[in-house]
Amino acid sequence: MSGTEELLVEPDALAAALDRPDAPTLLDVRWRLVGPPGRDDHRAGHLPGAVFVDLDTALCGPPGPAGRHPLPDPATLQAALRAAGVRAGHPVVVYDGGDGMSAARAWWTLRWAGHRPVRVLHGGFPAWVAAGLPVTTDDPAPAPGDVTVAPGALPVLDAGAAARLAAADSGVLLDVRAAPRYRGETEPIDPVAGHVPGAVNLPAPEYVTDGRFPPVDALRERFAGAGVTETGVVGAYCGSGVTAAQAVLALHLAGRPDAALYVGSWSNWVADPTRPVATGDTPGS
C-alpha cells in the first residue's frame, strides 16, 4: 500500500533533504488554465535550485482530438526532463502554485514515463513560503540528466476503455469536475456539456482542499462513498486530464496504485460527436 511518505513531502522535510549531498531534483511546474504563464511566477521567485518545466509544452502533447492535455511525445518529454537535470533513479520533487493540480499531473507523467522516485510538495509554493523557507530568483543551470522515458508504467484509459469501465458493474469511472459541469448545466471550456454515461461524479473538493489531502482514512471513506472498492477497477477523468491526475494521486494515497487516468478526459470524449453524453445528477447509461 502506498504511503504518504512515498508520494508527498512537507516543506520542512524537503528543506532538510535539499541540504544533503543527494538532494532531490526540484521541478517548478506552476501553471494556470488561463494565464499568465507559470514561467513568470518562476522568474519572480522559486525554491532554490528549482528548474521550471512547462506543463503545456513539455509534460503534455499539443491539444487536438486526443484532448487539451494529451500524453506527451516520449522523445520530447525525455529531452525536457534531461534538460531539467532529471537523472535515472534519482529522486524528484515537483511543486506548483498551491492547488496541487499541475504538480499531480507532473507526478503522474513522470511515473507513467517510468521514473518512480517522484513526490509532490504538499501545499506547493505557498506552503514553502508560509514555512519561512528561502526563495530565490537565481536562474539554475543543472547538469544534464540521463533519465530514459519508458512510457506505460501507469495505467491509461482511452475513450473506449473509459466507456467500458463506466458501464461495468465491478468498477467505477470517476468524473471529478464540478457538479454543474457533470450535470450538463454549464461548460465553460469544452463544446459540449454533460458526462460520460455511467460515470460517477466526485468533485475534486471532496478529496482535496487547497492542494492538501486529508488523512488516508478520510480519503478512503470519500472514495468508498463514490463506489470505489478495494478491488474493483477505478479510473478518473476531468476536463483535460490535469485535475483527474490529482484524483489518481489521491487514490494512490488511499491504497489504489492501480487507478487509471483517462488522459484525454472530457475534451477527448466530446471530440467525437458520435459518443453519447449523459446529463443530470445520476450517472445515466
Active site residue 60: no
Name the phi and psi angles at 148, rounded to 5. Answer: -110, 125
Sign for the pseudo-dihedral over CA of 5, 91, 136, 243? negative
CA distances from 184 to 21, 139, 178, 187, 266 (A): 52, 45, 10, 7, 12
Which of 51, 238, 253, 263 is catalytic? The answer is 238
Residue 241 to residue 236: CA distance in whole angstroms: 8
- Whether the Cβ atoms of residue 245 and residue 70 lie closer than 8 Å to each other: no
Query: What are 181's three cell numbers?
Result: 459541469
Q: Left if phi > 0, otherwise alpha if psi is -120 to 50, otherwise beta: which for 157? A: beta
Residue 6 to residue 20: CA distance in whole angstroms: 18
Sign for the pseudo-dihedral over CA of 157, 162, 168, 174? positive
Q: What is the DSSP string of 125-152?
A: HHHHHHTT---B-----PPP--------
* Total Cβ atoms within 10 A of residue 204: 21
Q: What amino acid positions are annotated as catalytic residues?
A: 238
